[in-house]
Structure 1
Amino acid sequence: MGLKHSSVVAAPRAEVYAWHERPGAVVRLTPPWMPVTVKQEADDLSDGVAVLGFPLGFDWIARHSSAEVSKQFVDELDTPVVRQLVRWRHTHSFTAEGESATRISDEIDSNVPAFLLRSMLDYRHRQLADDLAARQRAVDAGMRPLTVAVTGTHGTIGTALTALLSTMGHTVIKLVRRPAGNPDERQWDPADPDRALLNGVDAVIHLAGASIAGRFTPAHKRGLRDSRLGPTRALAELAAGTDDGPKVFVSASAIGYYGADRGDEVLTEQSARGEGFLAELVEDWEEATEPAQAGGLRVVKVRTGLVQTPAGGILKAQYPLFAAGLGGRLGSGDQWQAWIGIDDLLDIYHRALYDANLSGPVNAAAPEPVRNRDYAATLAHVLHRPALLPVPSFGPQLLLGAEGAREIAEASQRVVPARLEELGHTFRYDGLEPALRHLLGRV
């Protein structure tokens, strides 16, 4: 058995091949709905090894070979024992279609049923086309290769972002709390960062912070503040005080700034702060970046909406219920949800690095927020399931407590990306349904 799939992308053949050679390519091409962890990427398409981790401790070892620069490379299953049961040879071919387009062809010779592979290949081709288009937009806007230090690299967003940045051609330095294990890591003590930590760095992206999910107990609230305010201020002070250090400081933030419920008010970056614990937390979090701005750095605060990816966050939590036909609106379903696909979020972080027009708070939300009942109906429609079982309000309260449920699960925030729209930003997915179809392999 076998499977062939091809498509044309708007990029020269040499650039398409070079994209596959860069770190992060395998991460970018791995569908987020698959239970796979990229343990190792091949450092050479002619004789490298990639390792994918599956559940129950099973590793898929793929050995690369038969590489012809700009033309093709091959990967074959090289896992002992398993290769006696599974046949796998994947040929990646690249053919020039004029000077500025390339036909990408995948030919898989395997005894794995083809229907299990089609959605994977569809995703890979769309993802590659979108990434190359985003890179071209960045190059046209003046992007140049940068050295970028990133915190929070082991989280869902951090893993995806570092892969995107490296495939875009940047050098990524991961700031980790444990001892550095390789040249692309530097050990970071959030309480007292080493004075040389940011030497030679062009920009910082600060993502680290404890998960907001949980009951809003005094200890949980204290943990949220402690993981954000002190480390952010210390890193901002260091960035400002490093002579050959960064010129740009990009910090994660959240739409919690606008409060738990503003009714139908359209919320832009100019809207006033709301009420509640999260609103106060986000305000203090953003103020912790002040030392960087005072030191002359361009500071961007990315107020992130509800990130859509089955690899983490709200969609990961809801996907199993909706796939089983047990999903539905939360309470009345009237609350507004400001969502954003994970790849659009990554594009915003990337733009913050090179676009000098972008500074201050930036709403990272899709242009079309939806009400909760419409979100539930759309997700169910994409999965071909009903959405008939509303979740009673006491459900989230059991998990989050009354305050946590009000500020997280029941929050209503009609946030729009006004600043990005002013700059003519291109979103990969304006609408919820096409975004979910791509992320869940249901095109």
Structure 2
Amino acid sequence: MVLAVGRARDARACHDGDVAHIEHSTALPYPRERVFAWFERPGALVRLTPPFAGSVLSEPDDGLRDGSEARLAVGAPGVLGTGLGALAAALPLPSALPGWLRRGQVESTGRHDSYDPPRGFRVTTTGPFGRIVHEHRFVESDGGGTVLHESVDVVAPRESDLVAGTLVPTLRRVLEYRAVQLRDDLAFHAAHADAGPRTIAVAGASGLIGTQLCALLSVGGHRVLRLVRRPAETSDEISWDPAAGRLDPEALRDVDAVVNLAGRSIGGRFTAAAKDEILTSRAEGTLLIARALADLAGDGRRRAFVCASGIGYYGTDPHGDGDDAPLTEDSPSGAGFLALVCREWEGATEPAEKAGVRVVNVRTGLVQSPAEGSLSRLLPLFAVGLGGPLDREQWQSWISVDDVVSVYAHAVLTDDLAGPLNAVGPEPVRGAEYARTLGKVLRRPALVPVPSFGPRLVVGSEGAQELAYASQRVSSDRLEASGYTFRHRTLGAALRHVLP
């Protein structure tokens, strides 16, 4: 069970012209060596970088040691900057441009020094907003815990208004975000400590969920192997070609679990070609992995196969008969293209299941992240005060991005968990409540209903029906019964965590 532990004091900032100083402290009930080790592992920077502030282009090339460098993509601070970044990502910009540039971000570099394990380290970041010096000090507290003291000095290149008015509030939010991520990640791994270190292969590792899942597993001390569609270049990569049906089962011999997140994005118009690619990219890749795991089943090693699916399994309007009872894993599959995709997707895991592999089909809800998905498409309108509900009465079964990532890790590390599993928050909301909550978090009105022709212009009639107007009230009871505790139980808590 995940425990909500630790607390953080409010950050304090004082301004002196173009210079600002911010402090933040976080109390954690874990030994200093364990907390410092979390920071030293690959994935820590990914876990600590808020989606409203930017993304990691490359992790530190030599851990926390002096001279180690990391590259980040940084967006404009504040709600408007986040909305503009989401708008830029949605525009049809040339695909040859780097993804971070298409999201309206610019590059910055962080350089480490003052490495003193397990007492502390420092990072100096230079970029478009000036120079930011971030010092970390780890102090032992009474009872064997740790207090992490963070101090940030900001030197802006020009006007002090940038520092006082926009940059410092954003950095304060960044420190608050980091404290929550660190606390919750340490608690998650403490709750799953009995599982021991494992080796996990991940397909679709470069996507939104895959990137964060690899990071979460890595900071917990697990070894992560990435399936890549090119020749493997390092010992932590496995080459595969799902379109050609190529995956050497021997490459999975030492793996304890495989997580499959691979598949073409379902965004965009549902043309015949797009629908074929959406279906085949999921079913064929899943079947290839399932057969490879089945081939290894005779060696006596107990393996798991955790495969993505979606709440689209239940159809676009499973409540059309007026019965609003929450949908459980035992509810029948519904009508529509995405329901078909999910049935084929889940069915493709059968060879592994028949061979004795533990299989979990994670039926993912509406993932809340400003980086992509339904929330990112709404942000530009809400940021300028033109937001509102798509459909006031539709049920939206949402889940925070950190919860869905933790659900996948939980499925990997929980040996008695098998079968379909709904990955949704415990409190689904109707469309009107979703809009009100998002507007409140962004401090913007949510009064303008989105005209019905809007989604149809973007994704076509079938896409709008399947994506924008699907109404699904889905239960998380089985997930909680398996021992999972949510990081964000309410929509408001989920949105406040990932938005500035």
Same fold (TM over 0.5): yes
2:189 match: 135
Residue identity over aligned pairs, in percent, reads 48
User: 1:155 matched to which residue of 2?
Assistant: 207
Contact map agreement 1:7 1:103 (CA 8 A) in 2: yes
- 2:152 — aligned with what? 108
- Equivalent of residue 57 in structure 2, options 13, 32, 38: 38
Change in Cα spacing, 1:58 to 1:370, as seen in structure 2 (3 Å) is: closer
Q: 4+ residue runs of structure 1 moved beyond 6 angstroms? A: none
Counterpart Cα distance in 2 of 1:32 and 1:93 = 25
Q: Which amino acid aligns with 2:479?
A: L
Q: Which residue of 1 aligns with 2:131?
A: 87
Q: Which residue of structure 2 lines up, in the alignment, with residue 21 of structure 1?
A: 40
**Partner in structure 2 of residue 214 of structure 1:** 268
Gap change, CA 1:216 and 1:363, over 3 Å in 2: same
Q: Contact 1:39/1:53 (CA < 8 Å) preserved in 2?
A: no
- Of the structure 1 ranges 195-204 and 373-382, higher mean CA displacement relative to structure 2 is found in 195-204
The range that moved more, 43-52 or 28-37, is 43-52
Matches within 5 A, 1:8-407: 8-47=27-66, 48-54=68-74, 58-77=106-125, 86-112=130-156, 113=163, 114-139=168-193, 142-190=194-242, 191-242=245-296, 247-263=303-319, 264-331=324-391, 333-407=392-466
1:425 and 1:115 map into 2 onto residues whose CA distance is: 33
Structure 2 residue corresponding to 1:430, chosen from 475, 484, 489:
489
SS of residue paired to 2:389: coil
Compute the displacement of 1:198 (Å). Answer: 1.0
Distance 1:404 1:119 in 2: 36
In structure 2, what is the Cα distance between the partners aligned to 1:42 and 1:102? Answer: 27
Q: CA RMSD in A?
A: 1.8
1:4 is the counterpart of 2:4: no
CA contact (8 A) 1:258 1:279 kept: yes
| CA pair 235-86 structure 1, distance change in 2 beyond 3 A | same
Q: CA deviation at 1:423?
A: 2.5
TM-score, structure 1 as length reference: 0.94
**1: distance between equivalents of 2:231 and 2:37?**
31
Report the alpha carbon displacement of residue 221 of structure 1 after superposing the two structures with TM: 1.2
Deviation at 1:133, TM superposition (A): 1.2
CA contact (8 A) 1:188 1:197 kept: no
Shift of 1:99: 3.9
Identify unmatched segments of 5+ residues in structure 2: 1-19, 75-99, 157-162
Q: Which amino acid aligns with 1:220?
A: A
**What whole-Å deviation, never above 9, does each CA across 1:56-109 have from its counterpart, x for those lacking one?**
5843222212122111111124x5xx69x9333221011111344211111122
Shift of 1:322: 0.8
- Structure 2 residue matching 1:210: 3-state secondary structure: coil
Contact 2:42 2:63 in 1 (8 A): no
Report the alpha carbon displacement of residue 34 of structure 1 after superposing the two structures with TM: 1.6
In structure 2, the CA distance between the partners of 1:74 and 1:395, relative to structure 1 (3 Å rule), is same
Q: What code does the residue aligned with 1:395 have? A: G
CA pair 436-42 structure 1, distance change in 2 beyond 3 A: same
Distance 1:410 1:351 in 2: 30
TM-score by length of 2: 0.83
User: Distance in 2 between the 1:344 and 1:102 partners?
Assistant: 25
Q: Which amino acid aligns with 2:276?
A: R
Aligned counterparts of 1:186 and 1:195: Cα–Cα separation in 2 = 10
Contact 1:12/1:99, CA 8 A, preserved across alignment:
no
Cα drift, residue 246 of structure 1: 6.4
Deviation at 1:14, TM superposition (A): 0.9
CA change 1:355–1:389 in 2 (3 A) is same
Per-residue deviation, 1:124: 0.7
Q: CA deviation at 1:194?
A: 2.3
Q: Is the 8 A contact 2:249 2:293 kept in 1?
A: no
Q: Is the 8 A contact 1:27 1:38 kept in 2?
A: no
Equivalent position amino acid for 1:13 in 2: R
- Supply the AA of the counterpart residue of 2:280: D
* Separation (CA, whole Å) in 2 of partners of 1:358 and 1:99: 35
Distance 1:15 1:105 in 2: 16
Residue type of the alignment partner of 2:198: L
Give 5+ residue unaligned stretches, structure 1: none
Q: Deviations 1:161-190 (Å, cap 9, x if unpaired)? A: 111110111100000102223332121111
Q: Deviations along 1:212-269, whole A, 9 cap, x unmatched? A: 1222221111111110111111110001112567600000000001010122231011
The count of residues paired between Structure 1 and Structure 2 equals: 434
DSSP 3-state at the match of 1:402:
helix
